[in-house]
Amino acid sequence: MQSSIEERLTKKSKKAKLETFGKSLSFICIAFIVLVVISILYFVASKGIATFTQNGVSIGSFLGGTDWNPSGKGADGQPLVGALPMITGSFLVTFLSAIVATPFAIGAAVFMTEISPKMGKKILQPVIELLVGIPSVVYGFIGLTVVVPAVRNVFGGSGFGILAGTFVLFVMILPTVTSMTIDALNTVPRHYREASLALGATRWQTVYKVVLRSAIPGILTAVVFGMARAFGEALAVQMVIGNAALMPGNLVSPASTLTSILTMGMGNTVMGSLQNNVLWSLALILLVMSLVFNIMTRLIGKKGAMK
Amino acid sequence: MTEQNFIIESKDVHLYYGKKEALKGVSLDFMPKEITALIGPSGCGKSTYLRTLNRMNDLIPDVTVTGTIKLNGKDIYSPKMDTVALRKEVGMVFQQPNPFPFSIYDNVAYGLNISGMKDKQKMDEIVEKSLRRAAVWDDVKDKLNKSALSLSGGQQQRVCIARVLAVEPEVILLDEPTSALDPISSAKIESMLVELKERYTIVIVTHNMQQASRISDKTAFFLQGDLIEMGQTRKIFTNPKEQATEDYISGRFG
Ligand SMILES: Nc1ncnc2c1ncn2[C@@H]1O[C@H](COP(=O)(O)OP(=O)(O)O)[C@@H](O)[C@H]1O
Ligand SMILES: [Mg+2]
């Protein structure tokens, strides 16, 4: 009997072994994920920087140049790799779609949390979840068959351009921004609403001056999240924006975004060539921007938490 | 007609949460510029009754109220009553300090802001006056623009009281305002309430019998949705009419 107790205490129990096993397993998984992420970062960065280190393009002419024709050369013999048209296009569709989506998202969220939670739960919630799940090619297809002709009829031109891209992205990010805004409003404690009403505020004043105001960090996070999604969206935008690497002079002439030029050019270049390297540089910009969006949401969250 | 003197008269008030009867015919009147304490074991309907006085129960779905409650002779449950106006007359302080996540100044100015006051100088004056009356001015005068959530619980509760005072209500309802606070903060609030009595009618729910006996003029004892007894505080605590009151006060239950 005594030996068995001693044995049990000194030998590792089955549970302890299982725990060690589980710990190592999850550690290996995490290490693997970290490794993959680091390799991707390294790969994109090294490729993207090659444009500047190997092909001798200056960062200024890449970020600030407006002529994009990587297979040709300019009058000064330098390759034409000005990415400003795409950078501008990407930021324009991102900001415009976010600006249009935000009021709609706030309106829908206020309806669902403050005005009619029952109907919101029954009808709007499933609709939003459905919209989130629709693949982007479907949005692009609808954009191509509905939005582009509509823009053409109203504004003339081909219909392809920033405006069509904005519309499609607006619809695409709306469900995400809305559901995150709903979450933000729902985390505003009940007692803020009670305090406001007890002070003689109307329901509308309470929503406007207390609930929305307290939820600002959450709403901003939702909007930035939507912007990150819009900035990175490729397929649907590519289908409606026209893909002309020109500075967008107006909202209804063909333009392009970083993602659309990237997807268009990917298959047509040779690894290691300048034409290929500049695409990686575009990818690097996308990567950096998604990092920036990520940091922004974190900072906003932190600031909100401090209050 | 002594009735003329009452600021609030409630008669045969029943309240149902769905089918559950939480108030079973409460008739209770309040004199102006007095402190009335509502006491009783928890779950007996003190908060429920208090919330009928500014119609905060309206916010809970499926609540039915019958009987009459009059403020200055006007039926507050009549269809013509404007609850927004009512709640400006009858302010409320909650059990948990619940300042908005705004600056101290914005908290106190909230009631003025929603009433559309634009005059910044007047607003400053009222904010200061309210914070002084709530005995928290010295604590916060140098940090009016700091978040109210950065204050201690006791300071937060006094800011909440200042927030109500800024609206200049006639009646202030307090639902166990000190139960979440330390004894020192509670004492500050108690002495502040005694001073506020000069200007306001105060109804306070309290779990703390000493508190009721220290600060109130009248005491009402509730039990299971009924008002058992109401009278001068000294009388209730020394010589109650009802056996149940005596049992409760002497700590035999609750
Ligand atoms: N929102 C509500 N819905 C249903 N029942 C409630 C609600 N609020 C209170 N009650 C019930 O009403 C009774 C009185 O509650 P309350 O007024 O909070 O008592 P007290 O403040 O004296 O502790 C209790 O039985 C409680 O369970
Ligand atoms: Mg209570």
Please, are residues B38 and B220 in contact by the beta-carbon 8 Å criterion?
A: yes
For ligand 1, what atom is nearest to the CA of residue B46? Answer: 22
Beta strands at B74-75 and B63-71: parallel, antiparallel or unpaired: antiparallel
* H or E element, residue B70: strand B63-71
Residue B111 structure tokens: 């009631």
Query: For A206-231, what is each residue's pLDDT tens digit?
Result: 999 999 999 999 999 999 999 999 99
To the nearest whole Å, the CA of B9 is away from the closest chain A CA by 20
The pLDDT value recorded for residue A268 is: 85
In terms of Cα–Cα distance, which of B224, B212, B221 is closest to B245?
Answer: B221
What is the average pLDDT across A101-117?
Answer: 93
Average pLDDT, chain A: 90
Q: What ipTM describes this predicted complex?
A: 0.93
Looking up tokens 């001056």 gives: A209
Buried b (16+ CB within 10 A) or exposed e, B147-168: bbbebeebbbbbbbbbbbbbbb
Looking up tokens 């090659």 gives: A50
Which of B84, B100, B110 is facing A202, going by the closest CB pair?
Answer: B84
Instruction: Report the topology of domain A84-306.
Output: MetI-like fold (1.10.3720)
Ligand 2 midpoint to CA A223 (Å): 40
Query: For B107-118, what is each residue's pLDDT tens digit?
Result: 999 999 999 999
Query: For A39-85, what is each residue's pLDDT tens digit?
Result: 999 999 999 999 999 888 888 989 998 899 888 887 777 888 899 99
This prediction's pTM = 0.85
What angle, 0 to 180 degrees and rounded to 10, lies between the N-to-C axes of helices A258-265 and A274-306? 150
Please, are residues B160 and B98 in contact by the beta-carbon 8 Å criterion?
A: yes
Residue B156 structure tokens: 């937060």
The pLDDT value recorded for residue A120 is: 83
Q: Which domain holds residue B33?
A: 3-249
The pLDDT value recorded for residue B253 is: 64
CATH number of the domain that residue B128 is part of? 3.40.50.300
A277 three-class SS:
helix
Chain B (129-158) residues lying within 8 Å, Cβ to Cβ, of chain A? 147, 149
The pLDDT value recorded for residue A305 is: 59
What string of DSSP letters covers B22-61?
EEEEEEEEE-TT-EEEEE-STTSSHHHHHHHTTTGGGGST
The pLDDT value recorded for residue B2 is: 47
Q: pLDDT tier at A3 (50, 70, 90 boundaries)?
A: low
Query: For A188-212, what is each residue's pLDDT tens digit?
Result: 999 999 999 999 999 999 999 999 9
A146 exposure class (CB count in 10 Å sphere: 0-12, 13-18, 19+): middle
What is the average pLDDT across B146-155?
Answer: 95
What is the average pLDDT across A278-290?
Answer: 93
Q: pLDDT tier at A6 (50, 70, 90 boundaries)?
A: confident
Q: How many separate domains does chain B show?
A: 1
Q: pLDDT tier at B4 (50, 70, 90 boundaries)?
A: low
Q: Round to whole Å and give the CA distance between A177 and A155.
A: 28
In a domain, B254, yes or no: no
CA B96 remoteness from chain centre: 13
The pLDDT value recorded for residue B72 is: 94
Please, are residues A259 and A214 in contact by the beta-carbon 8 Å criterion?
A: no
Q: Round to whole Å and give the CA distance between A281 and A291.
A: 15
For ligand 1, what atom is nearest to the CA of residue B176? Answer: 21
In a domain, B239, yes or no: yes
Q: Is B95 on the interface with A (CB under 8 A)?
A: no
Q: Say how many C-beta atoms besides its own lie within 10 A of residue A13's C-beta.
A: 10
Between chain A and chain B, the number of residue pairs with CB atoms below 8 A apart is: 65
Residue B248 structure tokens: 């409760």
The pLDDT value recorded for residue A124 is: 85
| Cross-strand bridge partners of residue B222 | B227
**SS3 letters across B109-132:** HHHHHHCCCCCHHHHHHHHHHHHH
Ligand 1 midpoint to CA B142 (Å): 40
Q: pLDDT tier at A163 (50, 70, 90 boundaries)?
A: very high
Q: pLDDT tier at B7 (50, 70, 90 boundaries)?
A: very high
Whether B168 shows a pLDDT value over 70: the answer reads yes
What is the average pLDDT across A4-19?
Answer: 79
Residue A39: phi and psi, rounded to 5, are: -65, -40
Q: Round to whole Å and give the CA distance between B219 and B236.
A: 7
Residue A225 structure tokens: 């999240």
Average pLDDT, chain B: 93
